[in-house]
Structure 1
């Protein structure tokens, strides 16, 4: 409203001045047509130029404000985009910190960006990097103060920064803590070579995002450690009685049938080489298949002979699929130990494997026609399988469960599969009316 009144007053003034000049000052006075034409032209020019001339300062302020708002929105967009690719997702390392600083420097309105742990500089990019060296102790007093106090530090002068080098280019800074949970694990610092400090809110938002990535990295690390521990437990679970029987068989055949004894030694070495030296958590099904066949041939040679019948039904397409290592053999071993071993006449173990290209899954079935699993043990295993990994019975409790010896391998496998796949796998145990036990495992194709 105020701008409209001003414009109206200006237009009235223009026509009044035009009347005085054209009718009173000029001699002879101008006629009506030139006077009106000049007035209309001047009025149109003023009206069109009104936003930039009469209200220019206010509008420029708006433009500047709009620029700040645009910069802020652009900053948050950059922040969100950076959040999807931040290298710190791999953990708080020097290489990840350096790449993160290089990524963040253009969007945090700072001359230099630094990431530290609680004691040392992990990365520093910008003015002052000649003495703020990665791997060395923090050069400022502001960064350690952030770690001690656990809150953002705003530094507006060189003395507040407290750099050990007196002529350091850094004059001001915003330094925010990085956390994993409630624990401060480092700092994110944005430094300026002038007195104007970087935007505090933007730096804190980025520090919070980095902290979230560090928490996820920590969870990944803990999950890997737990998964490695379960794999080591499966390796250590190789039945000593199985080894004892094999060695006795080799010793007994060493004199009478040396070639058979030599063949058993070779198979046994292949068995343990694969079990102990297999790296990573996945291997081709063909390797696991060979491992299972080696195990069963040793069991037949050392203990069961013709009492153990083995049937294989393997889809050739499954051979190149990658499956969790040391998963199929424990299932087959359970079938032999707890299904066939108790039957005087022996029995049959079947291994079946298929690939479903539509659901991109690998299905594995291990079955036997042995004594079957005890109903109490089956109920306990089913109940634990339906729980989350964090809700499973503690190691101290497992040995007190009914049939704990028979089920510890299945529980270990289930926990490791949960750590590897989350809810994207299925492990079902059943006892058909015809007898025996059936274990069905379905895992995502890799």
Structure 2
């Protein structure tokens, strides 16, 4: 217990002792219980309110504890590090300009394993950007993969005799266990910059480089899956459409010409679409072009219903995602049904959850539970040679994996089907 609190407790005990003596011993007749309690309570409250320092103890200062003046600039530098985009000359230049007032050096440099990417401060006349590193210590750090501190110019090992740099701390920049460059902080006097500070900044830069590498690999992976989807456009679809066009060329040349133009539009969009996102209106046109070609082949057996919220048309969705789902419905839902059926494409925007929802449904032959289970878990059908999305083949898995790389867990792709009644595919992606 603090001394102030103990003193206050003693005062309270003394107050109640005095109240008892006065009201019960010195007064005749003694006061009743209620008057005694009221008097004691009033005096106790007065003692507590009149003695705040004893109750509360020493008051803490409202001023915050002093902070290292370097902490805030370092934190700000870490958040805005340009190397998050990769180890490039432009990113390195902006990084050294950001770090120079923070790391306590007269000059700051970033180099990769072959050339100086950025240099600011004394010595910039011969430590030229784009040239090979001029100091022996740079090669030592890359080779030994550890930080080196030097306090004499001969240990620095600059090839320029009149180099003004005397001391330095040079730390490696690494992606995993692979050293990809260095961060060098130099001074023009023998007292080197703080080693711990330079190593901390090198660790931050290395973390940003690792994140940049992960982003690059994710983009490459997404591009590879998109290319796989382009390459997977069913050749049987092309052959069947060409046969349909050849047949119509004898009976209805104008209709055959229109089909050729639509087929050209179809493949032009599939092959030349840049990037991973496009407006829904473009994907919608692509789907309608595909279905018009299939309707020329199947005739009245293939019916299509569109239910598109106009707000969806300007949203951006992943390219080549809706058409494979529609093709799956045609190929494995309607084509195997003698009397044909209807495909329903529905799209909505939910402003509350900020998502775009797309549903592709058909009233075709549906799927058996075991086929649906394989499809849901991305497992191939057993030795049937069918690589289609319907069988859980590469197509739908590519779509799912590409959505993973684009959205992480912020999307939903679900499939439900009943044999003999049809299939429903629901896709929900973040609004863009």
The Cα shift of 1:110 comes to 0.4
In 2, Cα distance between the equivalents of 1:198 and 1:401?
Answer: 68
2:364 to 364, 370, 373: 370
2:144 to 140, 149, 152: 149
- TM-score normalised to the size of structure 2? 0.81
Are residues 96 and 138 of structure 1, via their aligned partners in 2, closer, same or farther at CA, if it must alter by over 3 Å?
Answer: same
Matches within 5 A, 1:149-188: 149-188=144-183
1:310 counterpart = 2:304: yes
Where does residue 266 of structure 2 map in the other structure?
Answer: 271
In 2, Cα distance between the equivalents of 1:176 and 1:420?
Answer: 34
The Cα shift of 1:399 comes to 7.8
Comparing 286-295 with 250-259, greater Cα deviation is found at 250-259
Deviation digits for residues 383-424 of structure 1, max 9, x if unmatched? 34xxxxxxxx7xxx7886996533222111111101000000
8 Å CA contact 1:376–1:402 kept in 2: the answer is no
Across the two proteins, how many residue pairs are aligned to each other? Answer: 365
Where does residue 439 of structure 1 map in the other structure?
Answer: 425
The Cα shift of 1:201 comes to 0.4
Which one has a larger percent helix, Structure 1 or Structure 2?
Answer: 1
Gaps of 5+ in 1: 1-68, 385-392
The Cα shift of 1:118 comes to 1.3
Coordinate RMSD, CA, aligned: 1.8
Deviation digits for residues 132-184 of structure 1, max 9, x if unmatched? 11111111110111000000010111111111111011111100000111111
| Counterpart secondary structure, 1:271 | helix
Where does residue 88 of structure 1 map in the other structure?
Answer: 83
1:331 to 325, 329, 338: 325
Deviation digits for residues 70-90 of structure 1, max 9, x if unmatched? 7x8222321111111101000
8 Å CA contact 1:318–1:354 kept in 2: the answer is yes
2:392 to 396, 407, 414: 407
In 2, Cα distance between the equivalents of 1:345 and 1:433?
Answer: 16
Are residues 192 and 352 of structure 1, via their aligned partners in 2, closer, same or farther at CA, if it must alter by over 3 Å?
Answer: same
Where does residue 261 of structure 1 map in the other structure?
Answer: 256
In 1, Cα distance between the equivalents of 2:382 and 2:202?
Answer: 45
In 2, Cα distance between the equivalents of 1:104 and 1:403?
Answer: 57
Are residues 383 and 246 of structure 1, via their aligned partners in 2, closer, same or farther at CA, if it must alter by over 3 Å?
Answer: closer
- Runs (4 or more) in structure 1 with deviation over 6 Å come to none
Where does residue 207 of structure 1 map in the other structure?
Answer: 202
In 2, Cα distance between the equivalents of 1:358 and 1:267?
Answer: 37
1:346 counterpart = 2:343: no
Gaps of 5+ in 2: 1-64
Where does residue 131 of structure 2 map in the other structure?
Answer: 136
Where does residue 221 of structure 1 map in the other structure?
Answer: 216
8 Å CA contact 2:365–2:419 kept in 1: the answer is no
In 2, Cα distance between the equivalents of 1:320 and 1:150?
Answer: 51
Are residues 433 and 380 of structure 1, via their aligned partners in 2, closer, same or farther at CA, if it must alter by over 3 Å?
Answer: closer
Are residues 356 and 432 of structure 1, via their aligned partners in 2, closer, same or farther at CA, if it must alter by over 3 Å?
Answer: farther
